[in-house]
Amino acid sequence: MSDSPAKFGDYGGQYVPEVLMPAIEELTDAYERYVLENEDGFMDDFRARLRDFGGRPTPLQHAEQLSARYGTEVYLKREDLVHGGAHKLNNALGQVLLAKYMGKERIVAETGAGQHGTATAMAAAHLGMDCEVYMGRRDITRQRPNVFRMRINGSKVNPVDVGRGTLKEAINETMRDWATNVEDTHYVIGSVVGPHPFPRMVRDFQSVISEEARAQIREKTGGLPDSVVACAGGGSNTMGAFHNFVPDEDVALYAVEAGGSSLDVDEETGVAPNSASLSTGSVGVLHGARTRLLQSRDGQILESHSISSGLDYAGVGPELAHLVDTGRVTPVTVPDDAALEAFHRFSQEEGIIPALETAHAIAYLETADDLGESVIVNISGRGDKDLESVLEETAKRDLANAPEMGVFE
Amino acid sequence: MSEIGEAFRDGPALIPYITAGDPDAESTKAQVRALARGGADIIELGLPFSEPIADGPTIQNAIQRSLDAGMTPQSYLDLVADLDVAVPIVCMTYYNLIYQYGDEPVRAFVEAAAEAGISGLIVPDLPVEESDDLRAACDEFGLDLIFIVAPTTKGERLDRVMEQVSGFVYVQARLGTTGAQADVSTQTHDSLGRLATYDVPKAVGFGVSEGHHAREIVAAGADGVVAGSVFVDLIASGENVTSNLERKARELAEGARTGFEQRVPRPERT
Ligand SMILES: Cc1ncc(COP(=O)(O)O)c(C=O)c1O
């Protein structure tokens, strides 16, 4: 089984309703031909669009204040500078373009933070495709600017009221839409999750991050970094930032998960007040793949929590789970409070407002034991979308570095 | 022949679906009895999973009610063991629950299901590609493993699915998820046409809610009809539930019988 291209060790697979299987076979075939074999020049087209529409390559910036603070050379991979403000465009553009090559007419997507929805809406507008995005009601209220951006780009945003109204529920609803409209519709899944071939394909589209970063750091330092740090929700920016370093055994890889308010499960409410599926989860099957999940002993999926909606998910990509099991990737956690504090510190000291997701990766530097002499931190996205949440969450806390957040009269 | 196979022997089979534990375990027992009185030949009893991606809003809400009321895989199996009806019970659930039960993934659940008296399983998020473990366990403990064929299942893929099916094949009447519909989709007729040469009972579900749907489906060549959301709606309304379930079952069974009489005999069938 583990030799199957659909698996990473025992993780991965294709656990979806039969109605979707023919579409998944068709997609697997298209992925192999266009992405892996560059049929019809697909990858050339994709790379050119990533450059001209997407703004790649992104810089690898030396962070002076952070380097001084942590006594190690800190380099920032600036995915926040990709068009749309996050790494998400790398994948969204790849998949919408692939859908177009496949002759599909309609795009559906789920979104948590709204960043993937925004990237998909932008790619769909750019390539002239119809697009509908499902988003949990709670996330809609947390990430209003992205809701407007999606609509402005011509996409329809469908609120999802089920459950806690976050990413997990949005994925369920998008799968249902796909199952209803599978003949002309492609589901642009937003992370390295879901049934094969999504985890591999999304990783391939995102691996441009580590491809560039690896060349850039060699150019700057003549060698490889000692460690790479990235935040993990589903794990797409993590896998993108890690992929080309995986064979470099001397480069330590840290996946930073959302520790939320606690790493324990609240037995009474059945809520895991975190999204740390690599650190605290167990093996199960969700959204098309066998992977690590936050679940009850019976196998019911738990509601997760994070201050950042893009990390607020009970599952994680199967390849990342496999790399953790084999010891290649180290999972670590950062709680809500520390992420918020890092958000402010980074904004003040480096002049970059990070996404709350990204703030988790940055916060890890504060507690890390030994990152070596140089570290690359993947700045997965910019924080404009989070300003309302930051205002609200900062007001709830007694943060030493909180700026004046009152509204001007 | 398995118990499920038997159910198709004397004319078309009516296969109602309800979610166990909606709104509680005791009510489920009474609901099952009512469906049996109304003429159900097999009953699909849903074991609720928190992420029912193959189900539409009606069944999704039933699952939520059941989970809120505390239904677990263990209390589900206890409930089934307690049932006192002669109708075979098929457990419909999602793979993660089967995978997590007991100490030995998959096998422990199937063993416990067999002990509780379950005759077969339907697992809508488990395509044939991923079903080796469950197939082996079902063979070991004598359960039928029922697969769904969708309107999109064609050609070589259809052969692959049909090779794995036992008991009956669940013919998904239309694209999308479960949910009562006003009409019988033309996709049903196309699917039954593609399946005509396979010698396995064919039961059509997804959207069936009225006696005349059952008539049309059976007249078109189906050996049974599955109806879920329409029963779940009657349960959700909370009024005269058991008598309404019984009446609805009777209407659908009667429709299926009429359809069978109207069926154009197919000379090429052996
Ligand atoms: C800026 C940013 N970083 C990270 C993530 C987490 O997703 P992933 O783990 O797939 O990179 C998101 C998701 O929305 C995001 O918007």
**A91-150 pLDDT per residue, tens:** 999 999 999 999 999 999 999 999 999 999 999 999 999 999 999 999 999 899 999 999
Query: How much is the average pLDDT of A70-89?
Result: 98
Active site residue B55: yes
Query: How much is the average pLDDT of B13-42?
Result: 98
Share above pLDDT 90 across residues of chain A, in percent, rounded to a whole number: 93
Task: Strands of A44-147 (E only): list them.
Answer: 60-62, 73-78, 106-111, 130-136
B122 closest CA partner among B156, B154, B86, B98: B98
Ligand 1 centroid to Cα of residue A347, in Å, is 19
Q: Please, which pLDDT band fits residue B17 given cuts at 50, 70 and 90?
A: very high
Q: Which letter, b or e, does each residue of A108-122 get, where b requires 16 or more Cβ atoms within 10 Å of its Cβ?
A: bbbbbbbbbbbbbbb
Burial of B141 (0-12, 13-18, 19+ CB in 10 A): middle
pLDDT above 50: residue A358: yes
The number of residues making up chain A comes to 409
Active site residue A132: no
Ligand 1 centroid to Cα of residue A130, in Å, is 24
B176: nearest CA partner in chain A: A180
Residues of A near B (CB-CB distance < 8 A)?
A: 6, 13-23, 25, 162-163, 168, 172, 175-176, 179-183, 284-288, 293, 295, 297-301
- Give me the pLDDT at residue B269, please: 47
Contact between residue A83 and residue A122 where contact means Cβ atoms under 8 Å apart: yes
Query: How much is the average pLDDT of A336-365?
Result: 98
Put simply, the answer to whether A301 touches B51 (Cβ < 8 Å) is yes
Put simply, the answer to whether B150 touches A18 (Cβ < 8 Å) is yes
pLDDT above 70: residue B266: no
Ligand 1 centroid to Cα of residue B187, in Å, is 40
B169-172 sheet: strands from edge to edge:
B144-146, B118-122, B89-92, B43-46, B13-19, B224-227, B202-205, B169-172, B148-149
Cβ contacts of residue B102 below 8 Å, gap of 6+?
Answer: B108, B109, B111, B112
Share above pLDDT 90 across residues of chain B, in percent, rounded to a whole number: 93
- Give me the pLDDT at residue A270, please: 81
- Give me the pLDDT at residue A1, please: 44
Give the pocket of ligand 1 (CB within 6 Å): A 86, 88, 112-113, 115-116, 191, 231-238, 310-311, 355, 357-358, 380-381
> pTM score > 0.95 for this model?
yes
pLDDT digits (tens, 9 = 90+) for A169-206: 999 999 999 999 999 999 999 999 999 999 999 999 99
- Give me the pLDDT at residue A164, please: 83
pLDDT above 50: residue A317: yes
Cα torsion through A93, A10, A333, A199, rounded to 10: 0
Which range of A152-156, B1-5, B177-181 scores highest in mean pLDDT? It is: A152-156
Q: Look at strands A329-335 and B13-19 and give their pairing.
A: unpaired
Cα A184 to Cα A283: distance, rounded to the nearest angstrom: 33
Cα A243 to Cα A253: distance, rounded to the nearest angstrom: 10
- Locate all alpha helices (DSSP H) within B123-200, ordered by sequence: 132-141, 155-164, 186-195
Query: How much is the average pLDDT of A381-389?
Result: 95
Share above pLDDT 70 across residues of chain A, in percent, rounded to a whole number: 99
Query: How much is the average pLDDT of B197-212?
Result: 96
The 3-state DSSP class for residue B98 equals helix
**Bridge partners, A186 (sequence order):** A107
A16: nearest CA partner in chain B: B125
* Distance of residue A34 Cα from the nearest chain B Cα, in angstroms: 23
Query: How much is the average pLDDT of B30-47?
Result: 98
Q: Please, which pLDDT band fits residue B267 given cuts at 50, 70 and 90?
A: low
Q: Please, which pLDDT band fits residue A409 given cuts at 50, 70 and 90?
A: low
Residue nearest to atom 6 of ligand 1 (CA): A233
pLDDT above 60: residue B270: no
pLDDT digits (tens, 9 = 90+) for A287-308: 999 999 999 999 999 999 999 9
Query: How much is the average pLDDT of B19-30?
Result: 98
Contact between residue A276 and residue A264 where contact means Cβ atoms under 8 Å apart: no
Average pLDDT, rounded, for chain A: 96
Query: How much is the average pLDDT of B197-210?
Result: 96
* Distance of residue B49 Cα from the nearest chain A Cα, in angstroms: 6
Active site residue B44: yes
Put simply, the answer to whether B129 touches A14 (Cβ < 8 Å) is yes
pLDDT above 80: residue B1: no
